[in-house]
Structure formats: structure tokens, C-alpha cells
A and B are shown apart, each in its own frame.
Chain A
Amino acid sequence: MRRYVVKRLISLLGTLLGVSVLIFLMVHLIPGDPATQILGQFATPEAISQMRTALGLDQPLWQQYVGFLGRLLTGDLGTSLFTGESVWEQIVTRFPITLQLAIFSVLIAAIFGILLGTIAAVKQNTLVDRFVVLLSLVGISAPGFWIALFLIWIFAYKLALFPISGYEGVHSLLLPAITLGMAEAGMIARMTRASMLEVIKQDYMRTAEAKGASLVSLIFSHGLPNAIIPVVTMIGLQFGSLMAGAVVVETVFSLQGIGSLAIEAISKRDMPTVQGMVFFMALIFALTNLIVDLIYSRIDPRIHFD
């Protein structure tokens, strides 16, 4: 187990190194002179040369990268070109909202997705099944921003049940979390259904029935623990994408998470903040994948890491 974790951590470092090259090159890939592009056509030559120094563009490429990597390793993601704040500081203050939002929506998605998927599988080829299949496909197909506006229109304007935007405590995360979880719930329901249909056919289900187990025990105690294994993996692997989806949701609901931070940074072409954000997300993404693998070994006794 420990050896496996170490091996995974090493490969994770490799990936992050690759990402560091990628985000380092981001500035250099900007067409034309990055400093001019960032400041606009009408910037003074002094401002532009200052910006070049700020971006480190006056040094040879490899030297720039070594410096960049060195700072990265010490946790220094640079400072924002506009607020002058430390990028790391900005991310850390805004990350909790995004994390809460993501966890909240994963919970909602998992509960509804697994429940609906299981019901659909048990009631295969009935009207209920068809309805769940269509509903989950609609959930996957609907744009997040549209779901968000739809929910705001109904619950905030028409029914006045929820705050329209901004963060006023955990309850203001409910609509954003539902929005964010909708596509996820659809995917979970589809996967649970497919997996459960496979499990229902297995010999051990017949054994359980022959023992005299009831339908409820058959489904929830014997079937679901098996059916859920691939679903849990998917949920974990989707967690990163979910956080990326927070970009849209945070913008619509005016939440001060890292998603809206990214959008603000891009619209101002605040490259250090964008770079820091991308690196941070890659790190979170890689860590969640690792955690998912470890959880996987807990729920499936057949898996052992040596």
C-alpha cells in the first residue's frame, strides 16, 4: 500500500512538472509581445519594459523557467499584476467556497443519481426506467449556466425562496450546488443503472435470493455495494471537472470562489494569477484522483496495492 502511494506520488510529480512547463509557456505563447498585449496598444514604453521585467521576459528562456520552477517549488505562485496581492494568498482565501460548492454538489448528485439509477435498473424497460434515462440525458445536455438562470428565475424571482446571488451562508450554496450537480447526477444515474443491470444478472444475487433475502436487502445490501464500485471511481474522476464547472456557476451566482477569480484574471489578462490558478487546479485534480484510487481499495476488497 505504502509503496503504491509513493509510486503514485512520484508520477504525480512528473505530471505537475509537465504542467509547470505548460503554464510557463503560456506567457510566451501569447501572440506578439506579451507585455504589449497585456497592457494594450497605448501603453508607454516604460510601462511595457516594466511589465517585461515583471514577467521576467528580459532573461533567456531556460533561465526564466528555472527561476519560475524554483519559485513554484517554494510555493510562490507570483503576485497579481493588478492587485499586487500574492496569487497563492488569493487562491487560498477563495478556495473554500469553491470546495464547499463542489462537495455539496457531489453529495446532491450522488444521492439523486444513485437512487434514480438504481430504481431505473430495478424497473428496467418500464415507464419509470425510460423517464429516468431521458431525465439524466437532459441533465447532461443542459448548459450549466442555463440551469442556473432557470433556477434563479423560478426559486429566487418567482418564489423568492433563495438569495439571488452572493454568499450569505451555506443556504446560498444550495442553488449553485444543484446547478453544478445536475450534469453529474445525470452521469451517475446512467452509470449506476448500467452497472446495476450487470450486477442483477450475477450468480451471487441468485444465491442471496435463495437464502430468502427480501427485495430491499437484495438491492441495497447485495446489489448496490457491487454496482457502486465503478460509479465511485467516476464520481472521483469527475470531481476536478466539477470544480472547473464552478467557473460558470460562480459567475452566474456571483460567488467569490476560485472559478470567478479565474474569469476576472483572464478578462484583465492577469497572467500570474491565471498561471497560478491553472497550476493549483492541476494539483487538486491530481490529488483527488489519487484519493479516489485509495477509496476504491476500501470499497472493493478484491483490490490490493502492492
Chain B
Amino acid sequence: MNNSRHMSYWSGIRKRLQRNKTAMAGAIILLVFTLGSLLAPVIAPHPVEQMNFDQRLAAPSSTHLLGTDDFGRDIFSRLLHGGRISLLMGLITVVLSTTIGVTLGIIAGYYRRLDLFIMQGMDILMSLPALLLAIAVIAVLGPGLANAMIAVVIAVIPSYVRVVRSAVLSIREKEYIEAVRALGIRDWQILLKHILPNIMSPIIVLSTIQFGVSILAAAALSFLGLGAQPPMPEWGAMVFVGKSFLSQAWWMSIFPGMAIMLVVLGFNLLGDGLRDALDPKTR
């Protein structure tokens, strides 16, 4: 692939992406949340852990935009800080699961001998619904934020392996790969230079969607008391605490849940848009 063609390929995608309202809406949502959590220390109206017992369970007002919790802590400020945890958690799980999943997928697709072995393993993992698999992992490792992340990574790996493997299978028989192989170029170079660039599109789309899925799963685990533990301002854990105060202070659970929903929606919108932009054939 020569350089100028490469450039025009990506700029074409960028143009299609910019014209795609769905993708742009998703990108804007994510940008707002990313900026909000990055700048949390600056823009948060109240210190995160500042308790104020006079202000316990205060309804949303001008001083406390989204109200306060059972310790009088400002929910908006906690949401801003919690965004760091959720987004970072999503990022780490996506990076880990993409790396492992893509590696396994490429190996399965390229080295036919290992294929059966890897896919058998994936079949066993996929014989359980992802959330149950994650819960089983936590049953072994014990609750906690780090373990929840490991659980989510293990639960989403099979979907990467499947997608990457079938993408590799479809191009490994193509003539140019045969030609490169005939030149005596080493396997790892073929994989890195010729196969990986050609399967980037499905990987990017899948990673975007999985980013949202991971955040959702990690939040669900925290809500079940298996992931991040209160008083950490993780969104799922905040909903978990707020659940007990639903009748008195709906804002304690509804707002953090809404934050999760919006971020996941952002990733889903962006993923949909990317799919359209990267694969002009569909639609």
C-alpha cells in the first residue's frame, strides 16, 4: 500500500465521518464527557469528598446542580470525578481486550493448526452469557475494581477473536498475500505489515462499540457490589448507594445512571457512524 493512497483512504473516511450526523453526535457527547472528567478538579463546583451534613439529600438547586447524597456531597462534582474512573476503566479494558483478542484472532486465522484449539476455548467461553462469565470470574478473584476489569476483559475477548479470525481468513487466501509469502517474507512481518492494516476497519468499529459495552458491564458489576466499592465516585457504585434512597432522593441514582447511559450512547452512535464510514458498501 503506497503512502498517498493510504492518506486518501483515511481522509476519505474522515470526510464521510464528518458528514455522518450520527457519528458527530456521538463524538460530541464523548468530547463533553471527556473534557468534563479531565477538567473535573477545575470545574467541579465543590470538592468531591466534602461532606456537609446540613445539606444531606438536598434536591437539585442552584448551589447543588444535581443535588447532594446521603453525606451531603455534591453529586455533580462526584459525577465529574466518577467520569474519570468510568472512562479510564473503559479505556483499559478496551486496550487489553483488543490486544489479546486481536492477537488470538490473528493467530487462529493465520496458523490453521492453532485455530481449532483457540476456537474451542472461545466456544467454551461463549457457552456462557458474557455477564455471567464476568460474574464467574469475580467469584474466583473476589470483588473489586481491578478484578471487575479483568472479568470484563475475559468476557469480551471472544467477540474480538471471532471477528478478527474471520477477517484474517477472508484475506489470507488473497493473491497479494500469497505473493508476499512466496517472496519468503517472515510470517510476523506479513501479519504486521500486510494483514493487520487490512483488518483495521472491523477492529476499530468493534472497539468503539465494546468501549461502551465495557463501561456498561463494569458499571453493572459495581452496581451488584462486585466492582468498584463505595465511597468511590464510580457511577455504577453511586447508583448502588442511591438505590436505598430512591424514595427520598431520586437524584442520587437517576443522574449517575443517566451519565452511564449517555456515555454508552455516545460510543454506540460513534460506532454506528464509523461502521457506515469505514464500510461504504453497507447502507
Contacts and interface: CB of A to CB of B under 8 A. Distances in A.
A142 B261 contact: yes
Contact of B224 (A141, A248, A265): A248
A281 B128 contact: yes
A240 B212 CA distance: 21
Nearest to B121: A18
A157 B246 contact: yes
Contacts of A30: 140-141
Given A138-B265, A149-B246, A285-B128, A143 B260 contact: yes
Given A15-B124, A266-B139, A143 B216 contact: yes
A263 B129 contact: no
Given A143-B260, A149-B243, A157-B247, A245 B131 contact: yes
Contacts of B220: 143-145, 248
A282 interface: yes
B219 interface: yes
Interface in A195-245: 240-241, 243-245
Contacts of A152: 246
B218 to A, nearest CB: 10
Interface stretch (A53-61, A166-174, A267-275, A296-304): A267-275
Contacts of A143: 216, 219-220, 223, 236, 239, 257, 260-261, 264
B75 to A, nearest CB: 15
Q: Is the interface of B mostly helix, strand, loop or mixed?
A: helix
Contacts of B226: 263, 266
A278 B132 contact: yes
B135 interface: yes
- Interface centre among A21, A22, A146, A266, by most chain B C-beta atoms within 10 angstroms, is A146
Contacts of A92: none
Interface string B131-144: 11001101111110
Interface string A248-274: 100110000000001101110101001
Contacts of A262: 132, 135
A141 B262 CA distance: 7
Contact of B268 (A140, A150, A274, A282): A140
Contacts of B143: 266-267
A111 interface: no
Nearest to B264: A141
A146 B136 contact: no
Contacts of A245: 129, 131
Nearest to A240: B129
A47 interface: no
A248 to B, nearest CB: 6
Nearest to A262: B135
A18 B254 CA distance: 41
Contacts of B225: 263, 267
B31 interface: no
A149 to B, nearest CB: 5
B253 A278 contact: no
Interface string B81-123: 0000000000000000000000000000000000000001101
State the 4 A-B residue pairs at the shortest beta-carbon distance, nearest first.
A146-B257, A244-B129, A18-B124, A141-B265
Interface of B: 120-121, 123-124, 127-132, 135-136, 138-143, 212, 216, 219-220, 223-226, 236, 239, 242-243, 246-247, 250, 253-254, 257-258, 260-262, 264-265, 268-269, 272
21 contacts: A19-B124, A23-B136, A137-B269, A143-B236, A143-B261, A145-B223, A145-B239, A145-B243, A146-B253, A146-B260, A149-B253, A152-B246, A240-B129, A241-B129, A241-B131, A243-B129, A247-B135, A248-B224, A252-B243, A274-B139, A286-B127
